[in-house]
Amino acid sequence: MGVTGSALLDVDRIRRDFPVLERRLGDDRPLVYLDNSATSLTPSPVVDAMATYYNEYNANVHRGLHQLSQEASIAYEDAHDAVAEFIGADGREEVIFTKNTTESLNLVAYSWGLEHLGPGDEVVITEMEHHAALVTWQQIARRTGATLRYIGLTDDGRLDMSSASERIGDDTAVVSAVHVSNTLGTVNPVDDLVDMAHEHDAIAVIDGAQAVPMRPVDVGSMDADFYAFSGHKMLGPTGIGVLYGKEELLQRLEPFLYGGSMIEKVTFDESRWNELPWKFEAGTPPIAEGIGLHRAVDYLESIGMDRIQRHEEALVSYALERFDALDDVEVYGPRDPATRGGLLAFNLETVHPHDLAQVMNDFAVAIRAGDHCTQPLHDRLDITASARASFYVYNQPSDIDVLIDGIDAARELFIA
């Protein structure tokens, strides 16, 4: 058993940027953080960039003539440019800062969905959607009279593309799909789904919350109409998410939130909207968070997204190898590390995942246990909950060894 060294990042060096990894918990054990799909840790350069904003040029953006406001405005606008370049968008006009992936998806569903959907229209999503997309489209479909249809799964947790061909048709108005499943880890063929949507004049909306942190993403070559992700899962701060939208679509789209900043001219009778992307950023935006996200993007680029993807694959590959040696552990999702993201949901036979997570906590291992905001998928898998370990740039093979020790201890405790 082993991990091919060349695929792994220089974890020792990276870990020095994450002070929280120095914490020792419980019985003086070093923290093993394996809950990255929920939120990633934040490196010092990101925290420092946000502190610099607060300590040196703390001001509101867009409207001040004073120097601090100008500095803050430039930094906040530059952050849009950096994110645009990072994901292959054409420019800041296509990058809207929101609160998180959920708000990004709600923006599309409310602004585009309420205007374009009606009885007879179909919204096609997948059985592995996160509640962020599933609940949102469910409710917008109910309000507009549109029909919600689901693309089914294969037994090994991939999208059933023949089901996709059946579901996506002339009545389809929207195809909304998760890029990387937060439960199965599956990397979906989003390029194909986008093409299928466009063949039927539907728009394609992709939830990239688990994809952007882990692998290179190019929304341009993917040709997605909308693409949503969160800052806090990619080394950035909480409180900021991104919605990419094609400029021509965003130009025609009605705003989601109204108020200050998003207007160009207001009279007592009517208002005209500001230019993109500000038309969709009402009120004081997440300024420090935007600046922090910019720094997180720089940090990821300095490592290289290709290398991060290989690192994730190496860790998943090693984890699968260790899990395979355990007869009483079921791992969900595809087996091939090349077709899955850096996360593993699993169950230990006869031990409830909450009990498992509690025992893991004694080993200072942070894992997630529950339904991971994919209740219908858990129903589909015929389980109520699962445990999930998810890996990122600072994780190392020894973290997986500690995870396995925790599983062994839980087995001994509950099944003795």
Partner 1 sequence: MDLGSDIYRQQILDHYRNPRNHGSLEEPTFTHEGENTMCGDLIEMDVELDDDDVITSVAFRGDGCAISQASASMLTERLIGMSLEEVDALDRDDMIDMLGVEISPMRVKCAVLAEKVVQDGADIHRGKIDLDRTNLDDS
Active site positions, annotated: 373
| Stretch binding partner 1 (CB under 8 A), from 56-64, 144-152, 291-299, 349-357 | 349-357
Based on the shown chain and the rule CB under 8 A, indicate whether residue 379 belongs to the binding site for partner 1: no
Whole-number Å distance between alpha carbons of 416 and 399:
25
> Among candidates 381, 377, 389, which has minimal Cα distance to 135?
377
User: How many other CB atoms are there within 10 angstroms of residue 88's CB atom?
Assistant: 16
Rounded to a whole number of angstroms, the minimum distance from the CB of residue 218 to partner 1 is 37
For the CB of residue 386, give the shortest distance to partner 1 in the complex, in Å.
Answer: 10
Q: How far is CA 368 from CA 18, 162, 344, 372, 405, in A?
A: 20, 33, 10, 8, 17
If one asks whether residue 298 binds partner 1 (CB under 8 A), the answer comes out as no
Tell me which of 385, 387, 400, 403 binds partner 1, using CB under 8 A: 385
Give the 3-state DSSP-derived string for 88-113, with helices as H, strands as E and coil as C: CCCCHHHEEEECCHHHHHHHHHHHHH
Query: Which of residues 260 and 370 has its CB atom nearest to partner 1 in the complex?
Result: 370
Taking CB under 8 A as the rule, does residue 23 contact partner 1? no
CA–CA separation, 408 and 388 (whole Å): 16
Cβ proximity to partner 1: between 33 and 392 the closer is: 33
Residue number with CB closer to partner 1 (3 or 383): 383
Q: Which of 355, 366, 401, 402 binds partner 1 (CB under 8 A)?
A: 355
Select from 139-147, 319-327, 340-348, 351-359 the region that touches partner 1 (CB under 8 A).
Answer: 351-359
The residue (of 23 and 354) whose beta carbon lies closer to partner 1 is 354
* Interatomic CA distance for residues 212 and 89, integer angstroms: 13
Nearer to partner 1, 150 or 414 (CB): 414
Whole-number minimum distance, CB 383 to partner 1, in Å? Answer: 8
Any idea what the Cα angle at residue 242 is, between residues 236 and 247, rounded to 5°? 145
User: Could you give the 3-state DSSP secondary structure of residue 282?
Assistant: coil
Main-chain dihedrals φ then ψ at residue 288, nearest 5 degrees: -60, -40
The DSSP bridge partners found for residue 97 are 242
Q: Does 65 bind partner 1 (CB under 8 A)?
A: no
Q: Which of 27, 170, 201, 382 binds partner 1 (CB under 8 A)?
A: 27
**Least Å distance between CB 89 and partner 1?**
37
Of these, 361, 380, 401, 404, which contacts partner 1 (CB under 8 A)? Answer: 361
Question: Count of CB atoms within 10 A of residue 184's CB?
Answer: 29
Among 69, 9, 15, which residue's Cα sits nearest to residue 261? 69
Residue 134's nearest CA partner among 112, 151, 114, 156 is 151
Q: Which position among 370, 401, 402, 404 is part of the footprint of partner 1 (CB under 8 A)?
A: 370
Note whether 382 binds partner 1 by CB under 8 A.
no
SS3 124: strand
Minimum separation from the CB atom of position 385 to partner 1 (A)? 5
Among 41, 203, 344, 359, binds partner 1 (CB under 8 A): 359
Chain residues binding partner 1 by CB under 8 A are 26-27, 352, 354-355, 358-359, 361-362, 370-371, 383-385, 409, 413-414, 416
